[in-house]
Structure 1
Amino acid sequence: MLEHRASGALDREPQQAASRTRRRAKLTSKQVDIIVRDYQAGLPLQQIADKFNIHRKTVHHNLQRRGVPPRGR
């Protein structure tokens, strides 16, 4: 909201900063099982991420948590 001062200047109310917290993708154990299966079947990380509408790093982290060794490039 703007308020006029006698000097003609405008005072602005401080705006709240946009929330920068990210929501962590909540994958079920069954979904992570599918991620592991797809990865071991040779699907690329990005394709798996697109399938679950998550970031490829989320796929990577879940594979690491499950102890799945990375494929060679």
Structure 2
Amino acid sequence: MNMTLPPPLDAYLKAETTSDTGPLANCFAADAVVRDEGRTIEGLEAIQAWKKDSKARYQYNVEPLDVSQDVAPP
């Protein structure tokens, strides 16, 4: 499926194709928060460590199925 994704999401999916966690800086703010498997991961460095650990522990694929955008009323 060919779709146009928002730049941060596109960057995240591209980062999924490599073991380098550096590109995650293009996806997350320095103070970002991720919730996964009942844990809260806070900050870019912790998110990069979480992603490195996840890639080592699991074999998975990430594929967008659809994209939509909600626009807030003026």
- Do Structure 1 and Structure 2 share a fold, with TM-score over 0.5? no
- Please report the TM-score for the alignment, with normalisation by the length of structure 2: 0.28
Q: Whose radius of gyration is greater, 1 or 2?
A: 1
Greater relative CO (CA pairs within 8 A, separation 6+): 2
